[in-house]
Amino acid sequence: MPSLAVVGLQWGDEGKGKVVDALTAEADLVCRYGGGANAGHTVCVGSERFVLHLVPSGILHPDKRCVIGNGVVVDPDGLLGELQALRERGIAVSPERLALSERAHLVMPYHVALDRLREERAGAQRLGTTGRGIGPCYTDKTARVGIHAGALRDRARFERRLQAALRDKAELLGRVAPEAVDPARLLAALDRWQQLVPYLADTVALVHQALDAGERVLFEGAQGALLDVDLGTYPYVTSCNAGIGGLCAGTGVPPNRVDRVLGVAKAYMTRVGRGPMPTELPDRTGAALRERGEEYGATTGRPRRCGWLDLVATRHAVRFCGIDAVCLTKLDVLSGFSEIRVAVAYRLGGRVIETMPADAEELAACEPVYETLAGWAEPIAEVTREEELPPAARDYVAFVEARLGARIAWLSVGRRRDQLICRGEAGPWTGA
């Protein structure tokens, strides 16, 4: 039985939540491998809308098991709040259904305070983070003063780890957020956080056992590949490997056990926070994309920056993520534009280039080289077969596919689970 990874190919918010939710119907186990509560996965089931930040969206299917892998950074209060919200909506999440890696790092209140302080102090040079403590938590992990979720099991061990972590924090935060570095307060919170102990597990063994038993395992990426700390638009990135590289490190599953990689790309670009975005449209067309696509952050509510599809950037992600097939999402949002543009190259200092510069300042200086395609007027949200799409919509998909370097296997035309058009016979699990 195959295992399948789902990776966002842009700056996040590509609609992975819905795709993962649809694929979960055929999975036994869903595993998240990176990021934290900076992610916001929106899933609509019937008339109900769920926004999940840490719990894999597979939890909305009653018979599936979910794993929060070791690469995820977990805010204990955030996770407890999410479990409570699910419970209130009739979804009981038992430890049989959700396993939290004992190696996952905890996002502590001082990480959140540091994230906000650094952003505030950076002024015009701020990154525009989600303010969820993600960067400082990964920094502590790499600096070897992070706290594993497994430490929640043992008060004395937790206290020792906390002492090590707090060593340099009081200086920075003592005056601005004293409560965030107050050991007594943090230890008092431990009583609450210990509610997570029943969920702790050796998830490396658990996922390998599932693979050995021939179960279908779905790996759910968070954010998008262009936010990858190594291969994204550094420094305007998140602090982990949001591309495929994060999967192996963030689950303990080696690359030769990942059978297929499905990329999710939006039919246009969006970005939240700062950083270069060559095709950004700070005009009425961008505003129209934002309104029609309801482009407001699921985590922070911030309006997303919108622009035409950037094939240079998206192709870069397809390449380094080893994408077998793509789901192109939000195609319905493009209905009603008389013409649609797609960036196929950049112009930089008098040269035309087809690859993405590594330096953020160079990327910001790039001007897109556009191809202009015909638009279509008809709404397509209820179309269920590719043949029923307006010819201009089909041409758009064919154009994108030809230049992306990967087969477009699915088109998403709305929020609902059933608003997915399958192209060709092969499903994402089986490939071909």
C-alpha distance across the termini of the chain, in Å: 15
CB of 238 to ligand IMP, least distance (A): 3
Residue 248 in contact with residue 33, Cβ under 8 Å? Answer: no
CA distance 124 to 194: 40
User: Which residues would be at the binding site for ligand IMP (CB under 6 A)?
Assistant: 11-13, 38-40, 127-130, 132, 134-135, 222-223, 227, 236, 238-239, 272-273
CA distance 223 to 39: 6
CB of 127 to ligand IMP, least distance (A): 6
Nearer to ligand IMP, 17 or 368 (CB): 17
Residue 340 φ then ψ, to 5°: -125, 135
Residue 391 in contact with residue 404, Cβ under 8 Å? Answer: no
From 21, 28, 41, 332, the catalytic residue: 41
Nearer to ligand IMP, 72 or 210 (CB): 72
Nearer to ligand IMP, 40 or 58 (CB): 40
Nearer to ligand IMP, 5 or 340 (CB): 5
Active site residue 53: no
Computed over its alpha carbons, how large is the radius of gyration of the chain?
Answer: 21
H or E segment to which residue 185 belongs: helix 183-193
CB of 397 to ligand IMP, least distance (A): 24
Nearer to ligand IMP, 128 or 357 (CB): 128
Q: Which residues contact 255 (CB under 8 A, 6 or more apart)?
A: 248
From 13, 21, 115, 310, the catalytic residue: 13
CB of 431 to ligand IMP, least distance (A): 27
Residue 360 in contact with residue 236, Cβ under 8 Å? Answer: yes
Active site residue 111: no
CB of 387 to ligand IMP, least distance (A): 34
Nearer to ligand IMP, 82 or 102 (CB): 82
Cis previous bond, 235, omega within 30 = yes
The C-alpha angle 288, 400, 339, rounded to 5 degrees, equals: 40
CA distance 103 to 229: 20
CB of 137 to ligand IMP, least distance (A): 9
CB of 13 to ligand IMP, least distance (A): 5
Nearest by Cα to 317 from 208, 210, 406: 406
Nearer to ligand IMP, 36 or 428 (CB): 36
Q: Quick one: DSSP state of residue 106?
A: E
- Count Cβ atoms below 10 Å from residue 293 Cβ, excluding itself: 21
Measured from each CB, the residue nearest to ligand IMP is 273
CA distance 218 to 338: 39
Q: Which amino acid is at 376?
A: W
Query: Which residues have a catalytic role annotated?
Result: 13, 41
